[in-house]
């Protein structure tokens, strides 16, 4: 009998099997699991559960909310092997990479454990005669998160731990492509002592998403995914009066300067371009070599480094990366490689249709290196989201920066250089939200905030960290006076000062 991944509503796993969808193991190409796709009624049940749980949870002291997160962190660590196996089975991510993803999620839980400090508010005494003023940060109510397939553990933990410790109740709509690890993590949160209804998980497709975007009981929506969907999420949520942060696509460039440590740059680019099969919104997919000498050295050394890379199944830790998520995505990635070749680029290392022993039907794409790419090629413009590194050659740093600043996406970028002046100029003037100096994946730690610029982010606040606290709370400012007994002021028609 096929296993069906259900929903977590009001502390209970329920199945809504009127509509289901296959969940594939991308290494084998086979489906042994299905996921239930929520109906409108199921969505409304989840929202009703979150709404009912909100008043009591809102008034639960922040320290008690934090204690749930402390226990949750322990359970995540105790069950890490099972979580990573579930990620590998449905996403294809190699075990060591899944462990890294989970650890970055746990770091966001650790940040959320600081709720008593994060929510302290601000106080000013005697702003006027016997007048005190303070601000406090109150929860919004029922909030929702819509998360992508590429980080089924980490990205949801960018959202719900912080939202929950801020006093909100939460509805998570994870990717229907790899739902099992996300549901299991939510069950661990229940085991940690979270009251029923505070955290709900509903699996589904656009029908489920549209309920979250239009139901007036949902006060805010967080989203991570592609830019076209991010635009739709942001516009629809705003039209329905909701607060929204929608993180979209990326095309991340690394500038390789003539003075760069090429060996270090190659090592860093190899992991940043091909790790997780390139299915990261922070993947470095374009290397911009300044000068042909740097370009030739980079291509030669990358070609050599890539000879040792292995693509395969998640449970062999000696593999470097796994398959892409679906057969359709494999075809799309390989189509961009072919497109680049037809447009005149040089395929230096060709990863199309690799042979993986024992996994003939898997969705594998090998590491691919393409040289002489130009900005007018379709493969350059698009977010390929696969293990493909394209090399663009320019003559000057200014030309390289113009390429990056002219691109519609502004998520992440990096420069490899030994020159502090160049690095400082780059970081000051590049129009990108997250910048690395000899750091290829400049993903902010949990106590900073994550987000790009331009069409990589729709909304005013970035994800997690300090911006996350502000996103999941609303400021209330209170000004009070307790005049001395018997003292009464006369009427004043002037604006108070």
CA distance 83 to 96: 12
The residues near 85 (Cβ < 8 Å, ≥ 6 apart) are 95, 314, 315
Tokens 């039209």 correspond to 239
Active site residue 84: no
CA distance 18 to 20: 7
Taking CA atoms, 8 is separated from 48, 162, 207, in Å, by: 13, 19, 18
- Count Cβ neighbours within 10 Å for each residue of 216-230 and write b for 16 or more, e otherwise: eebbbbbbbbbbebb
The DSSP bridge pattern shows strands 122-128 and 131-139 to be antiparallel
Secondary structure E strands in 265-387: 284-290, 346-349, 368-371
Segment (H or E) for 24:
strand 20-25
Asked if residue 342 lies in contact with residue 373, where contact means CB atoms within 8 angstroms, the answer is: no
The closest of 200, 217, 215 to 164, measured between CA atoms, is 200
Which residue in 84, 113, 166, 281 is the catalytic one? 281
- Count Cβ neighbours within 10 Å for each residue of 403-424 and write b for 16 or more, e otherwise: bbeebebbbbbbbbbeeeebbe
Query: Which residues carry out catalysis?
Result: 281
């Amino acid at each position: 009998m096929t296993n069906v991944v259900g929903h977590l509503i009001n502390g209970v796993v329920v199945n809504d099997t009127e509509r289901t969808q296959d969940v594939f193991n991308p290494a084998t190409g086979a489906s042994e699991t299905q996921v239930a796709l929520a109906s409108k009624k199921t969505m409304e049940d989840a929202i009703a559960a979150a709404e009912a749980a909100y008043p009591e949870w809102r008034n639960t002291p922040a320290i008690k909310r934090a204690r749930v997160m402390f226990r949750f962190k322990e359970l995540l660590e105790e069950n890490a092997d099972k979580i990573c196996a579930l990620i590998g089975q449905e996403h294809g991510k190699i075990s060591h990479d899944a462990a890294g993803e989970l650890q970055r999620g746990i770091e966001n839980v650790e940040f959320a454990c600081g709720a008593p400090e994060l929510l302290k508010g601000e106080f000013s005494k005697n702003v006027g005669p016997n007048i005190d003023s303070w601000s406090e940060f109150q929860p919004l109510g029922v909030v929702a998160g819509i998360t992508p397939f590429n980080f089924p553990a980490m990205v949801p933990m960018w959202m719900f731990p912080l939202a929950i410790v801020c006093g909100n109740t939460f509805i998570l709509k994870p990717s229907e492509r790899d739902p099992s690890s996300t549901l299991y993590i939510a069950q661990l949160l229940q085991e940690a002592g979270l009251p029923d209804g505070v955290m709900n998980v509903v699996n589904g497709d656009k029908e489920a998403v549209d309920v979250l975007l239009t139901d007036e009981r949902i006060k805010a929506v967080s989203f991570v995914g592609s830019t076209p969907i991010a635009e739709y999420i942001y516009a629809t949520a705003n039209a329905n009066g909701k607060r929204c942060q929608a993180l979209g696509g990326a095309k991340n460039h690394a500038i390789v300067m003539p003075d760069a440590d090429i060996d270090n740059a190659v090592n860093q680019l190899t992991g940043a371009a091909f790790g997780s099969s390139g299915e990261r919104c922070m993947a470095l997919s374009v290397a911009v070599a300044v000068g042909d000498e740097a370009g030739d050295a980079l291509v030669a050394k990358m070609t050599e480094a890539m000879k040792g890379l292995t693509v395969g199944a998640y449970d062999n830790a000696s593999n470097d990366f796994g398959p892409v998520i679906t057969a359709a995505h494999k075809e799309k990635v390989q189509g961009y490689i072919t497109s680049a070749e037809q447009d005149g680029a040089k395929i230096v290392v060709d990863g199309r249709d690799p042979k993986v022993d024992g996994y003939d039907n898997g969705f594998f794409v090998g590491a691919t290196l393409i040289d002489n790419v130009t900005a007018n090629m379709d493969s350059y413009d698009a977010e390929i989201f696969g293990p493909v590194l394209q090399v663009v050659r320019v003559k000057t740093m200014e030309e390289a920066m113009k390429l990056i600043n002219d691109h519609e996406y502004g998520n992440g970028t990096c420069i490899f250089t030994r020159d502090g002046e160049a690095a400082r100029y780059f970081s000051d003037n590049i129009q990108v939200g997250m910048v690395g100096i000899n750091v290829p994946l400049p993903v902010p730690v949990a106590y900073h905030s994550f987000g790009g610029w331009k069409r990589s982010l729709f909304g005013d606040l970035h994800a997690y960290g300090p911006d996350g606290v502000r996103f999941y709370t609303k400021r209330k400012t209170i000004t009070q006076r307790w005049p001395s007994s018997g003292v009464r002021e006369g009427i004043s028609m002037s604006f108070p000062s």
